[in-house]
Amino acid sequence: MKIWRTLHDPQLEREVTAFVDERVIPVAGEIDAQDVYPVEIIEAAAAAGYNTLTLPTQYGGGGRSNQDALLVMEAIAYGSAAVAISMITIYQSQTIIERYGEPSLKERFLPQYAGGLRAAYALTEAAHGSDIRSLDTKALRTDTGWVIRGEKAFITSGSAAQLFVVLAETEIGVSAFAVPFDTPGVSTYVGPNATTFGLRNGPHVNLVLDDVEVPADHLIGEEGKGMRQAVITLAHSRTLAAGISLGIGRAAVDASLAFAGSRKAFDQTVLEFQGIQWYFADIVTALDAARLLTYQAARDLDAGHEIARYTSEAKLMASEVATRAASTAVSVCGARGTMESAPFGRFLRDAKAYEIAGGSTEVLKNTIAKSLLKAVSG
Ligand SMILES: Cc1cc2nc3c(=O)[nH]c(=O)nc-3n(C[C@H](O)[C@H](O)[C@H](O)COP(=O)(O)OP(=O)(O)OC[C@H]3O[C@@H](n4cnc5c(N)ncnc54)[C@H](O)[C@@H]3O)c2cc1C
């Protein structure tokens, strides 16, 4: 059954779909139930080049487009959103280093990604979520580098990350740092708020930085510009985030459509009821529109256009449509939709959680509105 248009490279779509069928789908339920980081799959994805598609070839990356990365992320999330978010933190961390890092920092870390380096993106703190203009984690300049002290919270992929991109406040503002996990003073723990109901790729750990010393070139980009750099990086990764929601939404539609096509009630399949068909017509229309918007946003990104508005629109729409798709799937499948042995609860939990992670719905609307206000004020 193929009901979705191929919107980009059919060959890449075939390859990644085969990978997902073989490696991801069979273990997706278990990853969610056990709440574990999928180390082996991430290593296999790295070996296939999926963790470094947009990284320049000089660092061992694929040097490919954001559309390629979007396609891969959508396909992986179709199998497991937990695997896909394990990959998006890898993309976020390599993107900020590649865009802003010193040449020596890039040489040190970027080539490691093709070998399967696992990384996390640590902005949030217990007291700072959407608002990261000031932070409780502090970094002090020393003669040889920086000393960082503080605690980050809610860090996706943190249970298995070997490298953390950390936001900390310096004398002149929020700054970004590369912090390897094996640096003395770095530790993680599973706090009371680490376990989420969705996007379960291992607990979203707290990262403790206890007077952690890093060399001078581990400051990423300009001191005091860390928040701006981190937000631009997030804007870049938003087409991938939208792709994750699209993958979840498509998986929910496909699984519920297959169920409705075989389940009998009142001497016909459930899918033969017009009321059920209209559910599908509505949600497939919404998903098709969200896919077109997202692939266009990735094309804009590849063309180097202003991206904050369109990538925000893509994530906003895709995440809300995915939640609707998952919720509709539960309705269509009746009791089967609610069972723990069925994937629909996972789809619904993952989709809803992704309305918040990586830029909440409300904050995305602010970004979109800001570009409208700018246009109005000239
Ligand atoms: C599954 C999951 C994974 C995550 N992974 C990571 C990670 O890897 N790294 C990381 O750093 N963080 C991570 N986070 C944290 C995430 O970035 C924050 O949850 C997010 O920024 C929102 O912050 P908050 O939860 O503190 O909400 P708050 O900032 O407290 O906001 C509460 C509510 O108010 C709304 N709100 C806030 N400001 C505004 C505003 N200006 N206008 C309108 N509404 C507003 C929010 O949208 C939300 O609805 C993750 C979160 C989740 C759920």
Q: Examine residue 244 and state whether it is found in any structural domain, yes or no.
A: yes
Question: At residue 287, does pLDDT exceed 80?
Answer: yes
167 lines ligand 1 (CB under 6 A): no
Report if residue 212 sits inside a domain: yes
**pLDDT for 175-213, tens place per residue?**
999 999 999 999 999 998 899 999 999 999 999 999 999
Give me ligand 1 centre to Cα 138, in Å.
21
Burial of 372 (0-12, 13-18, 19+ CB in 10 A): exposed
- Residue 74, both tokens: 């959508």
Cβ–Cβ under 8 Å, residues 201 and 31: yes
The residue whose C-alpha atom lies closest to atom 39 belonging to ligand 1 is 363
pLDDT in tens, 335-364: 999 999 999 999 999 999 999 998 999 999
Q: Are residues 207 and 288 in the same domain?
A: no
Instruction: Decide: 205 in ligand 1 pocket, CB within 6 A.
Output: no
Question: Do 15 and 134 reside in the same domain of the chain?
Answer: no
Give 234-270 pLDDT, tens digit per residue.
988 999 999 999 999 999 999 999 999 999 999 999 9
* 332 shares its domain with 254: yes
Where do we find the tokens 């070998």? 115
Question: In this structure, is residue 151 part of a structural domain?
Answer: yes
Portion of the chain with pLDDT greater than 90, in percent: 94
Contact 83, 28 (CB under 8 A): yes
Report yes or no on 4 lying in a domain. no
pLDDT at residue 250, rounded to an integer: 98
CATH code of the domain in which 324 resides: 1.20.140.10
Domain end call among 94, 114, 134: 114
Structural domain including 215 reads: 119-223
Rg over CA atoms, the chain: 21
Question: What are the CA-CA distances from residue 157 to residues 30, 184, 322 (Å)?
Answer: 17, 20, 22
Q: In this predicted structure, what is the pLDDT of residue 88?
A: 98
Instruction: Give yes or no: residues 44 and 105 share one domain.
Output: yes
- 191: its two tokens: 């706090």
* Domain assignment present for 2: no
Report pLDDT digits (tens) over 41-84.
999 999 999 999 999 999 999 999 999 999 999 999 999 999 99
- 321 and 240 within one domain: yes
**Residue 1 domain-assigned (yes or no):** no
Mean pLDDT for the stretch of residues 301-323: 94
User: 196: Cβ below 6 Å to ligand 1?
Assistant: yes
Of all protein residues, whose CA lies closest to atom 17 belonging to ligand 1?
Answer: 357
Longest dimension (CA), the chain: 80
- Expressed in angstroms and rounded, the spacing between residue 265 Cα and the centre of ligand 1 is 43
- Domains: count for the chain: 3
Residue 305: predicted pLDDT: 87
Pocket test for ligand 1, best of 356, 367, 368 (most atoms within 8 A of CB): 356
277 lines ligand 1 (CB under 6 A): no
Q: How confident is the model at residue 168 (pLDDT cuts 50, 70, 90)?
A: very high
DSSP state of 37: -
The token pair at 103 is 């040449």
Last residue of a domain, one of 188, 204, 223: 223
Q: Which of 223, 245, 274 is the last residue of a domain?
A: 223
Residue 303 forms part of a structural domain: yes
Distances (CA, A) of 45 to 73, 84, 86, 183: 11, 10, 11, 26
For ligand 1, say whether the CB of 135 is within 6 Å of any of its atoms.
no
**370 lies in the same domain as 232:** yes
Report the nearest-CA residue for atom 40 of ligand 1: 363
Q: Are residues 240 and 202 in the same domain?
A: no
The answer, yes or no, to whether any atom of ligand 1 lies below 6 A from the CB of 156, is yes
